[in-house]
Amino acid sequence: MSKFRTNILICGGTGCIASDSDKVIKNFNLILKARGYDEEVQVIKTGCFGFCEQGPIVKIEPDNVFYVRVQPKDAAEIVDEHIIKGRKVERLLYEEPRKHEKIEQHKNMLFYKKQLRIALRNCGLINPEDIYEYIAFNGYDALGRSLTKMTPDEVIETIKKSGLRGRGGGGFPTGLKWEYTRKSEGTIKYIICNADEGDPGAFMDRSILEGDPHSVIEAMTIGGYAIGANEGIVYIRAEYPLAIERLTIAINQARDLGLLGKNIFGTDFRFDITLKYGAGAFVCGEETALINSVEGKRGEPSNKPPYPAQEGYWDRPTCVNNVETFANIPSIILKGSDWFSSIGTEKSKGTKVFALAGKVNNVGLVEVPMGTTLREIIYDIGGGIFNNHKFKAVQTGGPSGGVITEEHLDTPIDYEHLIEVGSMMGSGGMIVMDETNCMVNIAKFYLEFTMDESCGRCTPCRVGTKRMHEFLEKITSGKGTMEDLDALKQLSYMIKDGSLCGLGQTAPNPVLSTMKYFWDEYIAHVKDKHCPTGECTHLAKYSIDPDKCVGCTACAKVCPVDCISGEVKRTHVIDQSRCIKCGACFDTCKFSAVIKP
Amino acid sequence: MQIKSIEELKKIREKSLKKVNLREHGEESGDQIEVLVGMATCGIASGARETLSAIVDQVSKENLENVKIIPVGCIGYCHSEPIVQLNIPGQNPILYGKVDGEKGREIVKKHIKGGEPLKESIIDASFDRA
């Protein structure tokens, strides 16, 4: 192939073939041959570009010019103008709907621009168990440069200027954290990687450790150099066996190549990493609780100050950063702080990985520049709401966050804006809900989680979350009163004010936020004893519409407790006293005769 | 061997580059074909291990000597796991979704051997990497 100076890539995906791309390919081949260019230009049929709407797609490499809606008759013009004369065919360039600017390079197109992978850059691309593949993709170059060409202060300055902030949820500027730890007095310092991913539904840290463990090792070593630490610890939950295995392999490989150990890159700097397994407690993601756990104590938070940067692991200055934060570091060193700070919004730079889950078509991990809107994530990347249902809300920030409703779908996502609309960034969990999700029930789900995960140190959190959960249980089973709603609110503020760490301070957020945006649902549960979505089974009351029932017996057959009676071709009846509200009859009835509460 | 300078790292990189040149852009590296199988927890949970063994088995059955099978991490496409990426020199990498053992064998037979992609299983990877 190397003998060809130019490649013409033509989409052979189903969509483009349907719009005649086969003929386009044929014409290109014929015309190239006729003009005598078939020896130096090659036509390649490719897989789908994922941009079927604008097909057939033709891409010219290495010029990286992207033509859309190319008809068979256009082949001659592209060959004559572009291939032979080197002039772009303006009329076939892609025109972005919003800007009306012709865009020739496909990397600049909105559709492709939605995702930018910095932290996940190597995930799915390299063999995580082969250090040479990581090195091939510029691995350990950032470490080499930091150690041999930069002073620790210059490294810190670069990270500070890049605007990188903690990706575990806190959003504290990483460079500042490094600087504080560096400036703290003491000869022994530590750097810890927080891999205690506990937010239900979030799994980006696991993916990074499983797909690209060397990026974290490299970044921790850079961090160690910057703050003056010779020892790094990865605090990782024991539920991540594969991540542990790959990380262990990667650490050993790095040691074999002298990238961990003494005299790294021929300098005086020595650094090594050990693993510490956690038992998977949510509270241990909080840095002081984490440090206690690493020391072998109970995973409970301690008072701040002193901050870990002053007195952390064994009372030595300690810097704790999250996995995703670390994964960004090598790219920042290699490409510079200006590059990184050019991505994102005013105060939130770079990208963020989100674990998109719930009622969307394309669940998975997405990494987008800060400032991308929720609408873009849910509809463009996530492919819209599952089963053509209607969007209701999205929960960000996991059990510490809140719901965001349709009116805020166009909010650019960054640390500040999410707080402004009553939620938070958190570690990047993003759960999409549709009209079949009961918001009171959602709040109950998160409260149950925080209630279980409360370490018990602070009474407001330990007892308060339990009481809140009881109120929610009461409300969803139809026994709630208006006083309960007031008590819930009051309790929320008490827990927030009276807790030492982030777990308690944010635990009531899901309740407060659903109350703010879906007060009517709470009222329906309390006053009308009715759950508008039917999700709260205690409040559900399935019945059969006699006008619509044709007596097909389908519902009676599917009922697991045999509480539907009726003869063939006669109206059926549900025995309310025995009904377990499973909804099987509703799903089965083809005549919409079962009325859902 | 220990790396003691940036120059040494560079040398190793250049040596290793040949191994991965094909990976991102379909740049030429002889006739070596690569099959990447997403083998993170999520992929394995959806059956990537069976997919991998089926592909390995089929490749040896077909006596294909220029095919390298590489386990990789997760690209975040949970909705389409197990994921298989096929890199053929001179072509854009192709991403297949929901590849079970049977489909893995088909990819080997039809696409690698026969040159015909399995169109209905192709998914698009629309993101830039840093």
Question: How high is the pLDDT of residue A514?
Answer: 95
- Give chain B positions within 8 Å (CB) of A137: 20
CB contact set of A56 (below 8 Å; sequence gap of 6+): A10, A11, A16, A19, A20, A21, A24, A69, A70, A71
Mutate to test the interface with B, among A125, A271, A430 (most CBs of B within 10 A): A125
> How many of the other CB atoms lie within 10 Å of CB of A582?
15
Question: How high is the pLDDT of residue A187?
Answer: 93
b/e code A218-238 from CB counts within 10 Å (16+ = b) = bbbbbbbbbbbbbbbbbbbbe
Q: Which one of 3.40.50.300, 1.20.1440.230, 3.40.50.1820, 3.90.1300.10 gives the CATH number of domain A439-526?
A: 1.20.1440.230
Hey, what amino acid is at A442?
I
Question: Distance between the two ends of chain A, CA-based, in angstroms?
Answer: 65
Residue whose tokens read 């959190």: A461
Q: How far is CA A589 from CA A172, A244, A358, A548, A595, in A?
A: 54, 49, 26, 10, 10
Question: How high is the pLDDT of residue A99?
Answer: 46
Question: How high is the pLDDT of residue A136?
Answer: 92
- Give chain B positions within 8 Å (CB) of A335: 130
b/e code A143-170 from CB counts within 10 Å (16+ = b) = bbbbbeebebeebbbbbbbbbbbbbbbb
CATH architecture of the domain with residue range A131-335:
3-Layer(aba) Sandwich (3.40)
A47 and B83 in contact by Cβ < 8 A?
A: no
Give the residue extent of every domain in chain A.
6-113, 131-335, 351-434, 439-526, 540-595
CB contact set of A453 (below 8 Å; sequence gap of 6+): A198, A281, A282, A283, A399, A503
What the block records as the tokens of A536 is 């709260």
Instruction: Determine the Cα–Cα distance for residues A30 and A385; give it in Å rounded to an integer.
Output: 45
- Give chain B positions within 8 Å (CB) of A266: 4-5
Mutate to test the interface with B, among A11, A25, A48, A146 (most CBs of B within 10 A): A48
What the block records as the tokens of A264 is 């790294």
Does domain A540-595 fall into CATH 3.30.70.20? yes
Q: How far is CA A74 from CA A35, A55, A78, in A?
A: 15, 13, 6
Question: How high is the pLDDT of residue A167?
Answer: 95
Which bin fits A592, alpha (ψ -120 to 50), beta or left (φ > 0)? left
- Give chain A positions within 8 Å (CB) of B97: none
ipTM confidence: 0.78
Among the partner residues A7, A112, A259, nearest to B126 by beta-carbon distance? A112
CA distance B62 to chain A (A): 24
B74 and A111 in contact by Cβ < 8 A?
A: no
Among the partner residues B19, B73, B92, nearest to A212 by beta-carbon distance? B73
HSE-CB at A259 with a 13 A cutoff on CA atoms is 31
A210 and B41 in contact by Cβ < 8 A?
A: yes
Question: How high is the pLDDT of residue A597?
Answer: 66
CATH, domain range B6-123: 3.40.30.10
A265 and B5 in contact by Cβ < 8 A?
A: yes
Question: How high is the pLDDT of residue A98?
Answer: 44
Question: How high is the pLDDT of residue A15?
Answer: 64
Give the residue extent of every domain in chain B.
6-123
- Give chain B positions within 8 Å (CB) of A48: 119, 122-124
B12 and A46 in contact by Cβ < 8 A?
A: no
CB A82 within 8 A of CB A89: yes
Instruction: Determine the Cα–Cα distance for residues A274 and A217; give it in Å rounded to an integer.
Output: 10
Question: How high is the pLDDT of residue B28?
Answer: 55
What the block records as the tokens of A295 is 């020391």
What Rg do the C-alpha atoms of chain B give, in angstroms?
16
**Looking at the domain A351-434, which fold is it?**
Ubiquitin-like (UB roll) (3.10.20)
Question: How high is the pLDDT of residue B25?
Answer: 55
- Give chain A positions within 8 Å (CB) of B72: 123-128, 211
Residuewise pLDDT in 10s, chain A (597 residues): 346 778 888 876 666 677 788 889 888 988 888 888 888 888 877 665 656 567 788 888 777 788 888 988 898 889 888 888 888 888 888 765 544 455 555 445 444 457 888 999 998 888 899 999 999 999 999 999 999 999 999 999 999 999 999 999 889 999 999 999 999 999 999 999 999 998 888 989 999 999 999 999 999 999 999 999 999 999 999 999 999 999 999 999 999 999 999 999 999 999 999 999 999 899 999 999 999 999 999 999 999 899 999 999 999 999 999 999 999 999 999 999 999 999 999 999 999 999 999 999 888 889 999 999 999 999 888 888 988 899 999 999 989 999 999 999 999 999 999 999 889 999 999 999 999 899 999 999 999 999 999 999 999 999 999 999 999 999 999 999 999 999 999 999 999 999 999 999 999 999 999 999 999 999 999 999 988 888 888 887 888 999 999 999 999 999 988 899 988 888 999 998 888 888 889 889 999 899 876
Rounded to an integer, the average pLDDT of B105-114 is: 92
| Range from A79-83, B25-29, B109-113 that averages highest in pLDDT | B109-113
**Looking at the domain A6-113, which fold is it?**
Glutaredoxin (3.40.30)
Question: How high is the pLDDT of residue B65?
Answer: 84
CB A337 within 8 A of CB A85: no
Q: Of B22, B23, B112, B97, whose CA–CA distance to B61 is shortest?
A: B112
